[in-house]
């Protein structure tokens, strides 16, 4: 029986899809059997970031409406031996095509066959969000060091804390730019973590390579030498219960390291 | 035998006074019997006040205090008594005192005097509301809001909105370990900019209250001892 992790943020464009693709891929690199689920119905793009767009036959709505079996809709990532799959979102229908109850059933079914279900959540707090969190056991909230993104993350954390079946959410701070933090033009990591008061599970630098990799359908985490890639790999290892200190970004405030304890409990 | 009986009753009724009027320095106090029916009470009140009625046209209003003993008066009955008294030219009811209150009122008073403690972070979009005082262990984040009928004490950072004395209590205060609110409200006053009594940034606990100029100001927490001594509830504690 696997576990389902929803990747959410409230605000759009902060890196939910990028984080989902990279964490999912990193877990597969660790030998786990992973299924990525794109719940951003109408605006799907996890398939593009994963480079799996061309191989889609059925989608999430087809599965929910029983036009096909779940395994028929799953797109296998050929870079991995039977470890990484994607359930794409529908491109044509709208979010109301799926209900939270249906999602819960679907995710529970997938948990029988996979170690990890990584659910990419759409922006907002409406139906799409409710669908995405419906079957989740854990949640990762993604934010960037911007006031508006942190504010939305706070809102989402408040909602997640009300979900009885989801463990306290963990935080990923994405697109960190050291020079801006140093100049005080951006919120620093400490400010964000004290504001949100949830455990930090990773910080990812802002890096053009991330965008390039996504555009080529090759998640950055497949590149072993990139800094952002190492950050994502470390997040995956923390999810697996390893206790690794945060990647020392240059000039990073020391206070952060002590904040990082154990993530996602020992397994 | 049969003829004597009504006379006896009449004497008895004469003896028993349903309304006793006393003059005090402040005005009149009317002691109202709590044993008779409300109608009897009204009749006698009307009668007695009319008897005392003289031509007071030009005299100032005399405040009247009603003491109702163990009689519970509904809001309508209170109004009836008030208007009855008011009809007597220069009398006006200032206060109605009763030994009894309804269960509902008692409940309300209890709630308004209660300190509710909550351990939680009030996040963006969330509202926490209590009838009495609020003791919060946690932060109020930007976009979050706490509301209390009484005082608000925050063991944490106030970065959102806090509204104390929301039912109109101007004596209510707001205290926080870190006072960085986006807005402060006490009773019906609203402050978007924080008026600090001092201008040092000591990271001390601070409190907000309404000063004599009817403005919300922020001062060191220790200032409360002088400004709101009533915050001490310990009997003989001062
Ligand atoms: N760490 C990063 N460094 C640089 N660009 C990033 C990073 N993370 C995400 N991006 C870019 O930001 C944009 C939005 O990311 P995306 O994952 O689609 O956000 P969301 O799913 O939250 O809307 C994309 O162009 C993506 O490539
Ligand atoms: Mg997305």
| Residue A229 beta carbon below 6 angstroms from any ligand 1 atom | no
Global pTM reads: 0.78
Q: What is the DSSP string of B68-131?
A: -TT----HHHHHHHHHHHHTSTTEEEEEEE-S---HHHHHHHHHHHPEEEEES-B-TT-EEEES
Would you state the structure tokens that stand for residue A221, as one six-digit string?
A: 């985490």
- Cα–Cα distance measured from residue A40 to residue A95, given in angstroms and rounded to the nearest whole number: 8
Which sequence spans correspond to the domains of chain B? 19-100, 107-227
Which residue's entry shows tokens 């020079």?
A179
Strand blocks (E) in A1-146: 3-8, 34-38, 75-76, 84-87, 116-120, 138-143
Checking ipTM against 0.90, whether it exceeds it is no
Tell me what pLDDT residue B55 has. Answer: 58
Which of these CATH numbers, 3.40.50.1820, 2.160.20.70, 3.40.50.880, 1.20.1250.20, describes B107-227? 2.160.20.70
Inter-chain touch B141–A152, beta carbons under 8 Å: no
CB neighbour class for A30 (10 Å; exposed up to 12, middle 13-18, buried from 19)? middle
pLDDT category at B10 given cuts 50, 70, 90 is low
- Check whether B205 has a pLDDT greater than 50: yes
Chain B residue with minimum CA distance to A125: B125
- Check whether B238 has a pLDDT greater than 60: no
Give, for B38, the enclosing helix (H) or strand (E). Answer: helix B38-52
| Residue A15 beta carbon below 6 angstroms from any ligand 1 atom | yes
Inter-chain touch B123–A152, beta carbons under 8 Å: no
In a 3-state reduction of DSSP, which class is residue B218?
A: strand
Interacting residues of A174 by C-beta distance below 8 A, sequence separation 6+: A14, A15, A18, A19, A142, A143, A144, A203, A204, A206
A44 neighbors A91 (Cβ within 8 angstroms)? yes
Which residue from B93, B10, B8 is spatially nearest to B49, judged by alpha carbons? B93
Which residue's entry shows tokens 């004395």?
B165
Other CB atoms within a 10 A radius of the CB of residue A215 amount to: 11
On chain B, the residues whose CB falls within 8 A of the CB of A168 are: none
State pLDDT tens for residues A206-260: 999 999 999 999 999 999 999 999 999 999 999 999 998 885 553 344 444 434 4
Would you state the structure tokens that stand for residue A16, as one six-digit string?
A: 């939910």
Average pLDDT in the B104-121 region? 90
Interacting residues of A9 by C-beta distance below 8 A, sequence separation 6+: A15, A16, A121, A123, A141, A142, A143, A149, A152, A153, A156
- Taking the mean position of all CA atoms in its chain, how far away is CA B203? 35
Inter-chain touch A151–B139, beta carbons under 8 Å: no
Interacting residues of A71 by C-beta distance below 8 A, sequence separation 6+: none
Tell me what pLDDT residue B11 has. Answer: 53
- Check whether B8 has a pLDDT greater than 70: no
Regarding predicted confidence, which is higher, A131 or B46?
A: A131
- Cα–Cα distance measured from residue A245 to residue A242, given in angstroms and rounded to the nearest whole number: 10
| Residue A46 beta carbon below 6 angstroms from any ligand 1 atom | no
In a 3-state reduction of DSSP, which class is residue B27?
A: coil
Mutate to test the pocket of ligand 1, among A13, A46, A172, A223 (most ligand atoms within 8 A of CB): A13
Domain of A103: which CATH number? 3.40.50.300
Tell me what pLDDT residue B28 has. Answer: 86
Percent of chain B with pLDDT over 90: 47
How remote is the CA of residue B126 from the centroid of ligand 1, in Å?
Answer: 28
> Which residues in chain A land under pLDDT 70?
95, 247-267
Inter-chain touch B141–A195, beta carbons under 8 Å: yes
Mutate to test the interface with A, among B141, B155, B157 (most CBs of A within 10 A): B141
For chain A, the straight-line distance linking the first and the last C-alpha, in angstroms and rounded, comes to 13
Which residue from B100, B106, B95 is spatially nearest to B73, judged by alpha carbons? B100
Give, for B191, the enclosing helix (H) or strand (E). Answer: strand B189-191
Tell me what pLDDT residue A26 has. Answer: 98
Which residue from A139, A192, A113 is spatially nearest to A19, judged by alpha carbons? A139
Average pLDDT in the B17-42 region? 89
Average pLDDT in the B137-146 region? 97
Which residue from B232, B225, B185, B235 is spatially nearest to B205, judged by alpha carbons? B225
Domain count, chain A: 1
Which residue from B181, B231, B192, B182 is spatially nearest to B215, judged by alpha carbons? B192
A186 neighbors A18 (Cβ within 8 angstroms)? no
Chain B residue with minimum CA distance to A152: B124
The region of weakest confidence among A248-252, B33-37, B110-114, B233-237 is A248-252
Tell me what pLDDT residue A253 has. Answer: 41
| Residue A18 beta carbon below 6 angstroms from any ligand 1 atom | yes
- Check whether B237 has a pLDDT greater than 80: no
Would you state the structure tokens that stand for residue B113, as one six-digit string?
A: 């005097």
Tell me what pLDDT residue A129 has. Answer: 95
Would you state the structure tokens that stand for residue A245, as one six-digit string?
A: 């200190």
Which residue from B132, B152, B129 is spatially nearest to B221, judged by alpha carbons? B152
As a whole number, the mean pLDDT across chain B is 86
Other CB atoms within a 10 A radius of the CB of residue A202 amount to: 27
- Check whether B116 has a pLDDT greater than 80: yes
Which residue range is the domain that position A87 belongs to? 3-263
Inter-chain touch A197–B121, beta carbons under 8 Å: yes
For residue A155, the distance in angstroms to the closest alpha carbon of chain B comes to 5
Strands lying side by side in the sheet with A3-8: A75-76, A84-87, A34-38, A116-120, A3-8, A138-143, A170-176, A199-205
A121 neighbors A132 (Cβ within 8 angstroms)? yes
């Amino acid at each position: 029986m696997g576990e389902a992790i929803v990747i959410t943020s409230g605000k759009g464009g902060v890196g939910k899809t990028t984080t989902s693709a990279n964490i999912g891929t990193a877990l597969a690199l660790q030998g786990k059997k992973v299924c990525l689920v794109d719940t951003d119905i109408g605006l799907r793009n996890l398939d593009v970031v994963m480079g799996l767009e061309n191989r889609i036959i059925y989608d999430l709505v087809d599965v929910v409406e029983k036009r096909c079996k779940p395994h028929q809709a799953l797109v296998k990532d050929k870079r991995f031996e039977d470890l990484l799959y994607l359930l794409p979102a529908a491109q044509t229908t709208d979010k109301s095509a799926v209900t939270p109850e249906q999602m819960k059933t679907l995710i529970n079914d997938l948990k029988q066959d996979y170690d990890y279900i990584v659910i990419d959540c759409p922006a907002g707090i409406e139906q799409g969000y409710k669908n995405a969190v419906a079957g989740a056991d854990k949640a990762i909230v993604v934010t960037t060091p911007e006031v508006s993104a942190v504010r939305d993350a706070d809102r989402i954390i408040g909602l997640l804390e009300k979900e009885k079946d989801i463990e306290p959410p963990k935080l990923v701070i994405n697109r960190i730019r050291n020079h801006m933090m140093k100049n005080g033009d951006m919120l620093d990591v400490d400010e964000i973590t004290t504001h949100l008061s949830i455990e930090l599970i990773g910080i990812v630098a802002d890096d053009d390579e991330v965008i390039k990799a996504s555009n080529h359908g090759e998640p950055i985490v497949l590149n072993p030498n990139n800094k952002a890639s190492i950050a994502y790999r470390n997040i995956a290892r923390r999810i697996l219960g390893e206790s690794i200190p945060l990647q020392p970004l240059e000039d990073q405030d020391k206070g952060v390291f002590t904040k990082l304890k154990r993530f996602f409990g020992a397994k | 035998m049969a003829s004597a009986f009504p006379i006896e009753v009449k004497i008895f009724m004469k003896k028993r006074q349903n309304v006793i009027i006393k003059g005090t320095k402040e005005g009149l106090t009317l002691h109202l019997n709590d044993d008779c029916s409300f109608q009897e009470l009204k009749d006698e009140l009307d009668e007695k006040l009319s008897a005392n009625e003289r031509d007071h046209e030009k005299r100032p209003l005399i405040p009247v205090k009603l003491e109702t003993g163990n009689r519970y008066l509904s809001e309508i009955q209170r109004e009836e008594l008030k208007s009855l008294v008011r009809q007597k030219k220069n009398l006006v009811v200032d206060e109605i005192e009763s030994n009894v209150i309804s269960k509902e009122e008692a409940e309300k008073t209890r709630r308004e005097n209660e300190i509710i403690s909550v351990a939680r972070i009030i996040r963006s979009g969330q509202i926490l509301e209590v009838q009495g005082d609020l003791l919060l262990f946690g932060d109020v984040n930007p976009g979050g809001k706490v509301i209390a009928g009484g005082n608000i004490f925050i063991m944490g950072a106030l970065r959102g909105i806090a509204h104390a004395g929301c039912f109109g209590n101007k004596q209510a205060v707001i205290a926080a370990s870190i006072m960085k609110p986006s807005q402060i409200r006490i009773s019906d006053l609203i402050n978007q900019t924080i008026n600090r009594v001092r201008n040092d940034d000591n990271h001390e606990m601070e409190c907000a209250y309404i000063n004599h100029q009817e403005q919300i100001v922020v001062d060191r927490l220790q200032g409360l001892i002088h400004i709101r001594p009533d915050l001490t509830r310990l009997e003989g504690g001062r």
